[in-house]
Amino acid sequence: MNAGEAIHLPDCTLVPEEPTDEDFLTLLPRGEVVRALAERGLEGALELLRTEEARGGDLSRRIAGFRERLRRQASRSISRLTRDYEKKMDDLDSVRVRSRRLLKEEVERLRTSLDRAREFSRDSLVGDANLLEAVRSALLLPSDALKASLEVRLTLWQRIRAWFARLFASLKGLFRRGKKEEELPVPKSKGRELTLARLAVLGRSLTPEMTGDLFQEMTPEQLTALQESARKNLQSRERDLEKKDRRDEDSYRQRRESLAKESEDAKRLSEKTAQEEERKKVADRLTTELKERGWVSERGNQLAVTYSLVDRFARLMLEEQEKALPEGLRLSLRGQASTGLYERGRLRERIELSRLDLPGSLLASRLRGSRHLLEEESYVYREIRSESIHAVLLLDVSGSMAEGGKIVAAKKALLALYMAIHRRYPDSIIDIVAFDSQARALDLVQLWEAQPGSFTNTGAALQIAYQLLQSSRASRKELYLITDGLPESYIDPTGVVKNGNLEKSLAFALARARDLSTVQTLVSTLVLLRSDNPSYERAARDIASVLKGYVVVTDPRKLAFELLVRFASDRVVEMQMESEGRQPSAVKPPSAAEAMARGGTARERRKARRQAPSETA
């Protein structure tokens, strides 16, 4: 760089302050975040954030610091905007000052020309463009006085000739307008009368050098008339300039007021936008953290929950329901019955981290040249189970399930049951099927996002369950069906879904139940959400009878508890039967009340008998 050159530093105010080392989620209760996000989406997580912020503490201070950075950035933007408008006003003032100066100079020149017009001569036109232009205009459009001084010298015939000559001169000037003034022919004045036609031509081509000859041809009366007409033209020009000055002043004042109003409006809009941007930035910050943790993802330009979040939510549902279970049933759900045999394999579920083979995982990581221990490439010791299980969970998502929050309760219950089965049997196979007029298999995310549909096609759900279980090699097969009413749809022999015929729909469901009853080692439970219509329970009993299974009639609020008790009680019976040397499959599972009585204290057993749920075999 040469000496004396200016050094231009970057404008650091244009760089946004984005704090990247301060997370909000680390200061929020994780369980509450998972619940809010699963149940109410991003708005639920933001509401939880606002609630925790209002309580004060570290989170409030962290968010306050984040907002302060955003406010400083917005303040700099508003300052830049204000400076821009101030510069526009300064430019407008400069233009106005320059315009008034030029106008003032022009007026002064006009007044000088007016003074010179009082001594009308050839010398007065030399170097005075305003006066010369005024004389030209007076000749081109002569005043009445000048016309009268000319016409008195003309006969009628000369007047007619003068009129045609003036017309010809005008037309000729119109067609020769593009030529320069010096190229126009100079009219000859010797021996010719000074006519209006010649005045029109002179008005277009008059130069200071021609004025001497022209003034010699004119009489004193004509010269006086021309002088007066030229002075009037100058005065008219001066008035026009004064009007222009007033118009410019009004325009300047309106423009300045408009700029001031625009500045205030822009400032208010910027402040409002900054407030909205502040809220949006907080939401974006939380969304970014949720994405980094893998709890939400972009799906079709919208945020959607991920399997990781639903998996955590399912664990949360199970933990909440476990608190109401007696100790014996809780131990059964946690898989306390052990074979004592383990095998080494890749990590499949986060819950297996407690049995992590840390030395082996680190060694494998180093051999791959990695300095980090990745979950998907880690090893654990997994217990070898003597029993494998294949469970099919059927959920009614017909339109009636939208009433009374039944579908939400059913989805939470199935999530808790899914996690209980998977935790008790890590190698288990669990299929989820939702059905309305048609049945379809779902994963955990699709289950949680399932919405109520149309009619109830119980037979189609049982048909898919049969297809899933008949070829399964699991040593134990379980079926859980949750519904709130009668079968209302069926599939005719041509494969078309028919709705509305209750008799045929029930017959179709019973036929599919007979097929499913042929599956070996199947234990089925049909859960009917309580209804005042007795025909619903009769239909559920008929289907359960064909399946050789059990019916549970319960309230949606107790649904998750009933499912877990049913699943856990079966495990308790199995452990008791194995300790006695008998086959578990040969004994009918106990009711929920009996299972609670066996698994709890004396006080819990008495309470269970008093509050035994409505359950029939």
Q: Residue 233's closest CA among 148, 133, 149?
A: 133
Quote the pLDDT of residue 150.
Answer: 61
Number of H helices, E strands in the chain: 20, 13
**Pair 364, 422 in one domain:** no
Domain co-membership, 399 together with 441:
yes
Regarding whether 260 and 219 lie in a shared domain, the answer is: no
Burial 210-224 (b: 16+ CB within 10 A, else e): bbebbeeebeeebbe
Identify whether 135 is part of a domain.
yes
Distance CA 94, CA 137 (A): 34
Q: Summarize the confidence of residues 207-225 as an average pLDDT.
A: 71
Cα 43 to chain centroid distance, Å, stands at 13
Same domain, residue pair 278 and 320: no
- Is residue 534 within 8 A of residue 486, CB to CB? The reply is no
- Residue 216 CB partners (closer than 8 Å, separation 6+): 189
Give me the domain span that covers residue 556: 311-336+387-616
pLDDT tier at 165, thresholds 50, 70, 90:
low
* Closest-CA residue to 571 (of 548, 595, 554, 553): 595
Query: Residue 307: how many CB atoms within 10 A of its CB?
Result: 15
Q: Are 406 and 554 in contact (CB under 8 A)?
A: no
Distance CA 388, CA 429 (A): 8
| pTM metric for this prediction | 0.63
Residues 439 and 460 in one domain: yes
Contact 596, 326 (CB under 8 A): yes
Residue 321 shares a structural domain with residue 278: no
pLDDT digit string, tens, across residues 99-124: 889 888 888 888 887 777 777 666 66
Tell me: do 207 and 296 sit in the same domain.
no
Among 1-15, 100-114, 246-260, 377-391, the range scoring the smallest mean pLDDT is 1-15
pLDDT confidence band for 236 (50 / 70 / 90):
confident
What long-range pairs does 27-34 form, CB within 8 A, spacing at least 24? 27/52, 27/57, 27/58, 27/59, 27/62, 28/52, 28/59, 31/316, 34/295, 34/309, 34/312, 34/313, 34/316
What is the pLDDT confidence band of residue 612, given thresholds at 50, 70 and 90? very low
Which residues lie below 8 Å from residue 53, measured CB to CB, with a gap of 6+?
Answer: 59, 60, 63
Token pair belonging to 473:
């090699």
Name the token pair of 171.
Answer: 């037309």
Is 458 within the bounds of a domain?
yes
Q: Please tell me which residue, 300 or 217, carries the higher pLDDT value.
A: 300
pLDDT the model gives residue 556: 92
Would you place residue 596 in the very low, low, confident or very high pLDDT band (cuts 50, 70, 90)? very low
Mean pLDDT of 184-204: 51
- Residue 276 pLDDT level (bands cut at 50, 70, 90): confident
Domain boundary at 305, 327, 350, which? 305
Q: Identify the bridge partners of residue 442 per DSSP, sorted by sequence position.
A: 432
Domain-embedded: residue 7:
no
- Amino acid letter, residue 177: R
Average pLDDT over all residues of the chain: 79
The rounded percent of the chain whose pLDDT value lies above 90 is 31
Cβ burial 159-175 (10 Å sphere, 16+ → b, else e): eeebeebbeebeeebee
Residue 499 lies in a domain: yes
More confident residue, 564 or 117: 564
Helix (H) or strand (E) holding 112: helix 58-117
Q: Looking at residue 485, what DSSP letter applies?
A: S
Residue 380 has pLDDT above 80, yes or no: yes
Beta carbons within 10 angstroms of residue 504's beta carbon: 15
110 part of a folded domain: no
Residues 89 and 236 placed together within one structural domain of the fold: no
- Predicted local confidence at residue 513, as pLDDT: 95
DSSP 584: G
Query: Is the pLDDT reported for residue 594 higher than 70?
Result: no
Task: Answer yes or no: do 188 and 209 share one domain.
Answer: yes
* Position with higher pLDDT, 589 vs 520: 520
Q: Last residue of some domain: 323, 356, 384?
A: 384
Domain count, the chain: 4
- Which CATH number belongs to the domain containing residue 436 in this structure? 3.40.50.410
| H/E segment holding residue 481 | strand 476-483
Evaluate whether 316 touches 419 at the Cβ level (below 8 Å): no
Does some domain include residue 567? yes
Regarding whether 521 and 460 lie in a shared domain, the answer is: yes
Calculate the CA 394 to chain-centre distance. 36
Q: Which two tokens stand for residue 213?
A: 């000859």
**pLDDT at site 461:** 96
Angle between the 129-140 and 196-205 helix axes, to the nearest 10 degrees?
A: 150
Residue 364: φ, ψ to 5°: -65, -35
Give the lowest-confidence range in 316-330, 467-481, 529-543. Answer: 316-330
Give CA separation, 429 vs 412, 461, 468, in Å.
Answer: 19, 17, 10
Q: Are both 356 and 474 inside the same structural domain?
A: no
Among 210, 240, 270, the domain-final residue is 240
Q: What DSSP character marks residue 370?
A: -
For the chain, the maximum distance between any two Cα atoms, rounded to a whole number of angstroms, is 153
Q: How far, in Å, are 453, 470, 472, 527 from residue 467 at the CA level?
A: 23, 6, 9, 21
Concatenated DSSP letters of 236-254:
HHHHHHHHHHHHHHHHHHH
Both structure tokens of 355: 């049995």
Give domain status of residue 15, yes or no. Answer: no
Does residue 8 lie in a domain region?
no
| pLDDT tens per residue across span 312-368 | 999 999 999 988 888 777 766 766 445 556 678 887 776 677 778 888 888 888 787
Q: 189 and 125 in one domain? A: yes
Residue 495 neighbours by CB distance under 10 Å? 6
State the angle between helix axes of 196-205 and 156-175 in degrees (0 to 180), rounded to the nearest 10: 30
Of these ranges, 106-120, 206-220, 254-268, 399-413, the one predicted with the greatest mean pLDDT is: 399-413
The whole-angstrom separation of Cα 351 and Cα 335 is 13
**Does the pLDDT at position 14 exceed 70?**
no
Measured N-to-C along each axis, helices 30-54 and 58-117 cross at an angle, to the nearest 10 degrees, of 50
